[in-house]
Amino acid sequence: MPIEFVCKIKFAEGGDTVGQRPVPVPQVCPGAGGVPLTAGMAGEESCGRSSGVANLRTFAGASTLHGIDHVLGSGRAGVRQAVWALAFVASLALFLYQAAKSAVAYLEHPHVAALGEEAGGRDMLFPAVTLCNVNRFRFSALSDADIYHLANLTGLPPKNRAGHRPADLQYPPPDMLDIFNRTGHQLEHMLKSCNFSGQNCSANDFSVVYTRYGKCYTFNGNKTSPKRARQGGMGNGLEMMLDIQQDDYLPIWRETNETSLEAGIRVQIHSQDEPPYIHQLGFGVSPGFQTFVSCQEQRLTYLPQPWGKCRATAEQVLPGYDTYSISACRLSCESAQVMAECNCRMVHMPGDAVICPPSKIRCVDKALASLQKSDGDACPCETPCNVTRYGKELSMVKIPSRGSARYLSRKYDKTEEYIRDNFLVLDIFFEALNYEKIEQKKAYDVAGLLGDIGGQMGLFIGASILTILEIIEYIYEVIKYKIKRLFRPHKTQRGQGQNQNQNRTQGLQNHADQSLRTQLTDGTIATVRLEDVKANEVGEITLAHQQGVYPTSVLPNHHHHHHHHHLRHIHHQQTQQDFSY
């Protein structure tokens, strides 16, 4: 049996139902410390901006960077924040300026030279001593063929002036190594006495070496068993008496590039690791004097690139030499230049090429002159990173004295005049058993750069390495958040779809209310059957199910009974309101 309820419904004026106006619920951004969304913004966009500001303020408050919390920590900008911002920017600018100056100074790679003197110990390695007679060929040792072949070097005519013409002479090609070895001054004839550290020495303690002066001799040139000085001072080194044999010097008929006008010997003091370059680095010793040479060893250490321009010892050595040195480099360059222009080499140059005959002496002189006039690019000889050289102080006295001239004349069966013109004494010794150390050092290294930047960072902005890590971590978090937003578009679209469904449902409900409001006027009595009420109840329950408003303690099937009582209570209240009017 259908039951019919009759009720009077009165609608409130103004378009909205009393008690049904929606109350906006503020949404909270996740991960932003409870920051509400800003009105007028899309949800995710507002969350992004608000959380970014909040995180920046949180970073400013927790960071060890001084001053930034006073700029960004408070909510509203004011005079105080402006002053702090100006001070922070000025300090940051000063720090960057000083840091840039330090970086530029480091990139210039400056260096300084440190000079010191160190003890050499109980003994010291004695240097190599190379000596040459300034006369290359002994006139008495030259044959007719030698004079004929050496005419371009010596400028001498044939010995037999009344003999054959030069065009009629037939001689075999010259062997220049044999000529230099045979006609040069022999040390066993020049050396009259020798003493090293109180022990006698002889010509056997010297080795033959060839230079621009021809056949020369080196004392203590052996690298495997070098001699050592056990004490400094005069008489504790190498002392020798030499006869330069002026009577056997070549007569000068005409001047050539190889003509020598002086008499005496050339001496070079060098290390065992470098060949003699005596024509440029040697010093002269004159007959008729005793020359004292006080030496001090100097050990030089240069810096490689980019602080210096030295050549590391690990680099490839030059062909023909065991170790690299400037002298070896120059001799190699000269040999290469002469080989390129004349297809031969001089007797003192390294290599396996044939020795240039005297007929090519003009070609050799031209090649060496062109190499000397070059700006250095043709022969770039870098300084080795470790160099040993010897500083020298020379002094001399005249010999022989009147009393000793007669004694030396009887001892060596020479005239007193010959003794004065040909004899000399050379005394080479260490001033002391110590050495001078000259070392290039980095004036500004990485430790100094980091120390300066760290001090300036602490002075101007109160930061450290850990502060930089904090900033990097904050930037990393911001980038990670942006990337996550970039790669999550489907979640945003899903949320927008749910919002559209809710808006569509709300629109349908508002449309139904508006239709009912237009159909019923004030005071109209509507008849609602129970079947309609039940249908409505089912629709409302379904809508409630969609919105998820189940109590946690009520099952979905139990919700109908509770909703019937709720509807009856609403109808009862509405009837009482109608009766009150």
**The pLDDT value given to residue 558:** 44
Phi-psi region of 264 (alpha: psi -120 to 50; beta: other; left: phi over 0): left
Q: Give the C-alpha distances (Å, rounded to integers) separating 561 from 124, 456, 551, 570.
A: 116, 78, 14, 15
Closest CA to 253 of 148, 358, 156, 140: 156
SS3 378: coil
**The pLDDT value given to residue 571:** 44
DSSP code, position 115: E
**Would you call 114 exposed, middle or buried from its count of C-beta atoms within 10 A (0-12, 13-18, 19+)?**
exposed
Give yes or no for a contact between 276 and 411, defined as CB atoms under 8 angstroms apart: no
Q: Give the C-alpha distances (Å, rounded to integers) separating 434 from 108, 123, 295, 392, 572.
A: 35, 9, 10, 14, 121
**The pLDDT value given to residue 14:** 45
Residue 239: partners with Cβ closer than 8 Å, 6 or more residues away: 193, 194, 195, 196, 425, 426, 427, 428
| Encoded tokens for 38 | 């800003």
Dihedral angle computed from the Cα positions of residues 352, 353, 354 and 358, in that order, rounded to the nearest 10 degrees: -120
**The pLDDT value given to residue 7:** 55
Please tell me the distance from the alpha carbon of residue 105 to that of residue 348, in angstroms, as a whole number.
Answer: 47
Q: Which element (helix H / strand E) includes 217?
A: strand 214-219
The count of C-alpha atoms lying within 13 angstroms of the C-alpha of 543, restricted to the half-sphere facing its C-beta, is 14
Model confidence, pTM = 0.66
Closest CA to 208 of 153, 131, 265: 131
Give yes or no for a contact between 193 and 393, defined as CB atoms under 8 angstroms apart: no
pLDDT digit string (tens) for the chain, length 581 residues: 455 555 555 555 444 444 444 444 444 454 444 444 444 444 444 454 545 555 777 877 778 888 888 887 766 678 888 888 899 899 999 999 999 999 999 998 898 888 888 887 888 999 999 999 999 999 899 888 888 878 767 766 665 545 445 555 567 788 889 999 999 999 999 999 999 998 999 999 999 999 999 999 999 998 888 999 999 998 899 999 999 999 999 887 666 666 678 899 999 999 999 999 999 999 999 999 999 999 999 999 999 888 888 887 666 678 888 888 999 999 999 999 999 999 999 999 998 889 998 888 889 989 988 888 876 677 888 889 999 999 999 999 999 998 888 999 999 999 999 999 999 999 999 999 999 999 999 888 889 999 999 999 888 888 888 888 888 988 898 898 889 888 876 555 555 656 666 666 666 666 656 655 555 544 555 544 444 444 444 444 444 444 444 444 444 444 444 444 444 444 444 444 444 43
Residue 537: partners with Cβ closer than 8 Å, 6 or more residues away: 560, 563, 564, 567
**The pLDDT value given to residue 255:** 65
Residue 427 neighbours by CB distance under 10 Å: 20
Neighbouring-strand partners of residue 437: 116, 299
Q: Give the C-alpha distances (Å, rounded to integers) separating 3 from 146, 530, 532, 539.
A: 155, 6, 11, 21
**The pLDDT value given to residue 309:** 85
The count of C-alpha atoms lying within 13 angstroms of the C-alpha of 469, restricted to the half-sphere facing its C-beta, is 3
**The pLDDT value given to residue 265:** 96
The count of C-alpha atoms lying within 13 angstroms of the C-alpha of 512, restricted to the half-sphere facing its C-beta, is 6
Residue 240: partners with Cβ closer than 8 Å, 6 or more residues away: 191, 192, 193, 194, 195, 201, 425, 426
**The pLDDT value given to residue 2:** 52
Closest CA to 310 of 326, 334, 328: 326
